[in-house]
Structure 1
Amino acid sequence: MTTEPAPVPPPPAAGPLVARTVALEDPGALLSLLPGHVSPEAISSWVRRGEGLVGWGRALVFEAGGPQRFAAAQEWWREVVSRAVVRDDVLLPGTGPVCFGSIAFADDSPAGASLVVPEVVLGHRGSHFWLTTITQGSSLPAVLTPGPGEPPAAPREVAFADGALSGAQWGGAVAEAVSRIAAGEMDKVVLARDLEVDAADPIDPRWLLQRLAERYDNTWVFAVDGLLGATPEMLVRLEKGLVTSRVLAGTIRRTGDDEHDLALAASLARSSKDLEEHEYAVRSVADALEPHCTSMNVPEAPFVLHLTNVMHLATDVAGVLADGTTSLGLAASLHPSAAVCGTPTPVAAQAIAELEHMDRGRYAGPVGWMDSSGDGEWGIALRCGAFDPDDARRLRLFAGCGIVAGSDPDAELAESDAKFVPMRDALEAL
């Protein structure tokens, strides 16, 4: 039996990274400060309810593929920050040098792993605002004066088309998955589908980010290397030794009638099918975090998380870090959780490869940020779209559903349509 060698990341570029963080007076909403005329790949975001980080430019970029992509990315970042020259006047999580990252769902996906170090990062946390400028060289970068960019233009003539599978074909894939579950091959599998988007002009990523933030303020609005969306699921957060993870599994669509939605929430909380799906997801997260943590707290029952268009069963798992793993290392341990893959993981992953007929790319993989200490936040790239790197008029949107023994193909198709709503709505003019 041979042992796969440890990954050897390429060395950082010739000069050390030089980062300067200064405190700011309130500069306004973070997403409004992103400049125009910047390509989707050069926009970075991690914002929830107005707080978080945005960035632009690409001071450094790292890419890796294959099963070792997480480890290679983590080691590359450790090497970069070990050589960095940093002046940080704020000293909060997310200050100093920061990388934004997104990681492909599958080991064999050509999308691989991407870490982007922006040239400019703006942050907001509580009463604190800051600006970080990052470059390579021997002197501190200049301090900028951030201000609102020109308003983004609405997308024009947006058309949607089936991706790899039509709705009917995807429903057939769900039926096949249910058949395999009934035969005892697996307990759960998460199946995704995609939609193709074409617009008359290049789509401004700032338009999408601002619309998502306005309509889905309880999500993390993200953008990394051309992938953007609004995820409700925090895969893992690491801050000063505290590890937290929010698990979402089990979904029902909202109607807009508050009284009816409360009744639907109660039915979701009692649904044996959804509770079973949720239990698989929670257990997979707790089992993955346990080797890295002490004092684990896993609630016995989920709560119902109310979002703008859907409601989810949710559980917050917490622990105290017991080793020196970074937030990205924790994300690697958690990926792929039962919430985006299934149970048992190898069987579910094989079923995904056979039934979806598409490469997920970085959909359903970890997405987030990490600072020089290894602290950071990584969500799961859900409710999202990926820009065509060669044509900013084109996007691929993704949505997926957890399939268990009680799943009905028509109901799952309707649930997937509901999960497309955030991105479809964001692409519409006001």
Structure 2
Amino acid sequence: MTKESTKQELNKQTERLEDKPSDEEEIGLEPNSSNFDELPNIDKLIEKRDPEIYKTPIKLTFNAYKRIISYALRYASEAISEKNWREAYGILIGSVENNEKVIIKDAIPMVVGERAGVKYENKQYVDMAQIDESVYERSIRDKKNDFIIGWWHTHPGFEFRFSDIDTQTQLGYQLPNPYAIALIFNHCKLNSNNFYLGLAALRLLNPERGLFSSYDYINLEVEINQEKMINKVQKVIKDNFKNLPKILKEIEYVDDILRKRALAQLQRNYGLILVPKRDIIITDKEEDAEEDDRYLYEWDPEFFKKSFRIPKFREKIEEEIKRDEKILQELLELNELKKYEQKKDKFKKKIQVMLSKPNDWFNQLSSEFTKRIEIIYPYYDYLDTSERKILEHFESRSIEYNKILDSLNTRAQFNLSLE
């Protein structure tokens, strides 16, 4: 199969669309603030760098490309009506090699927006911070220099260019890192002779000028030749789109059934995780907190302790264990070993009965989650922040519950010793 015919098989939507961006259809990440407003003397405020830095070429790995195209085609492709096309956004992970080339090693999907434009929510900012920390820790561990090297987004049916909002977003990446890159993907350009694989790499040429900065296309190399890249990604896309409906159903099951119903019911009936105090009112005025116990000053060092309480079920068990431990400790100190063993056996059975239902319920819940994760995991790389956070939230809450449950199970063995 020739390179051209392979492209056509991957991208049956080869009918060219007229690129028609308008003022109302600016593509890019909606700004969270106006930090990048042009300043009169910005040349004096921002250090100018060697303009050659901004021309540093890019090398794209297959791993990064497959994640970009797999997520992008979920929301804009020939199988979707043009009026329903939506823009996607993600971040790029990579390194700068010898100040001569930027290697894009990974591309993480983050969020999908509307026809033109994407807006971050708090969970995306949190996710990005967590990714940044994870990449840093992994780089230290593996002795690599990987970091967030830029961002990618889609322009379904539009030109490869920066809108004002795109420029603002790129400034956020490029001002602190002159090598930062932006990739734009347009599925309508997969057969373009001028752009590899429907992609363009862009960088601002004079970011010290803020929103007045110009931009240019940067030389984009690929890890393997274009034909092999297309052939390999074609298989990935076919498999992803075949299994995607099932994957999304499994994620929905985790969210609706396991998290919102089963885990929530387990916590309601056999609560172990700390819960917020309902009568607490958070305030940023210290004087309010001093005058009324209902108010909690948000900068109080005891904020967490004061704003959460131990659930009644856990409180009851901990009180029982503490009381039983005291009795057993006294028997040990009196060397009444026979009585100690009798009491110990009695106390163990009592606490084990109290913990039997939460243990059984949690084990069933964990088993159900494991089944779902085994199905989802092979496609985890192609999920966005919202989808990943559903799984991460359930997992973190489960781990928190299980940690407390394990501690209580261990304490219920009453393996005491003379102090």
Q: How high is the TM-score relative to the length of structure 1?
A: 0.22
| Greater length-normalized contact order (CA 8 Å, ≥ 6 residues apart) | 1
Q: How high is the TM-score relative to the length of structure 2?
A: 0.23
Bigger radius of gyration? 2
Higher-strand-fraction structure: 1
Higher-helix-fraction structure: 2
